[in-house]
Amino acid sequence: QSVLTQPPSLSGAPGQRITISCTGSRSNIGANYDVHWYQHLPGAAPKLLIYADSGRPSGVPDRFSGSRSDTSASLAITGLQAEDEADYYCHSYDISLSGYVFGTGTRVTVL
């Protein structure tokens, strides 16, 4: 059972903007541990999308952006494209668990 909560699913039309939330607590995001985001396509390896809250690895389009506030973080996708259909996960560290945690995951559907 994950300690980082995400909406199970979100959808949007091509070109729209969607925001995926990742709600944690004072033992993970609220303890100032970095939040990272991954895109996971079926049958493929997860891909790092955002690191350290808002950093973008080389090759990731600037349509993807990250932010954080208090005990939560968000991933925004602007100009939604068909290729963005995937599962998205946030990831951080939890001091009370002494371990790494992933969010519950959000499936994004492009209408």
Q: What is the contact surface with another protein in residues (CB under 8 A)?
A: 2, 33-34, 36, 38, 40, 44-48, 51-52, 57, 87, 89, 91, 93, 97-105
Nearer to another protein, 63 or 107 (CB): 107
φ, ψ of residue 66 to 5 degrees: the values are -125, 155
Rounded CA-CA distance 110/73 in Å is: 22
Closest separation in Å from C-beta 91 to another protein:
7
CA 51 to chain centroid, in Å, comes to 10
Closest separation in Å from C-beta 95 to another protein:
11
